[in-house]
Structure 1
Amino acid sequence: MSDKSNKSVQEKLTDLSELVGWFQGASFKLETALDKFKEAELLAEEIEKDLTKLKNDIKIVKKRFDSEN
């Protein structure tokens, strides 16, 4: 999962979904579960930050739009 900071929120959500699916799949191995969990946790935090930024950007645009009308 390189270049995850350059990915869109949708791409990151897809990556997270694949990680979650790994835990439910046949290729699950306890030895690698902790690394996968940490990777998923970091990705979820990054997605949350991206969504917060988008929400703030939308608020700014809405405020500008409301002040023009």
Structure 2
Amino acid sequence: MNLMKSDKTIQQKIDALNEKMAWFQSDDFNLDEAAKHYKEIEEMAEEVEKVLLDMKNEIEVIKQKFD
């Protein structure tokens, strides 16, 4: 289950991740739903991490062209 569309910017993905994480500190927190929310956060974090790694690799390639 992919909760984030690929056309979102990295900032939008991070913002969505932060919003989802804030649920754990909110009055809406429910232990019965915690595992589901945790899994969604884990998937979102993996996607953000992948995008950041791709960006890092792209920057390194560009940097090598100028060295």
Q: Distance in 2 between matches of 1:3 and 1:22?
A: 17
Quote the sequence identity (%).
42
- The answer to whether structure 1 residue 12 and structure 2 residue 13 are counterparts is yes
Q: How do 1:1-69 and structure 2 match up within 5 A?
A: 2-66=3-67
Bigger proportion of residues as helix = 1
Gaps of 5+ in 1: none
Q: Structure 2, unaligned stretches of length 5 or more?
A: none
Instruction: Report the AA paired with residue 48 of structure 2.
Output: I
Higher relative contact order (CA 8 A, sep 6+): 2
**Which structure is larger by alpha-carbon Rg, 1 or 2?**
1
C-alpha deviation, 1:9, in angstroms: 1.0
How many pairs does the alignment contain? 66
Which structure 1 residue ranges, 4+ long, deviate > 4 Å from structure 2? none
Question: Alpha carbon RMSD of aligned pairs, Å?
Answer: 1.4
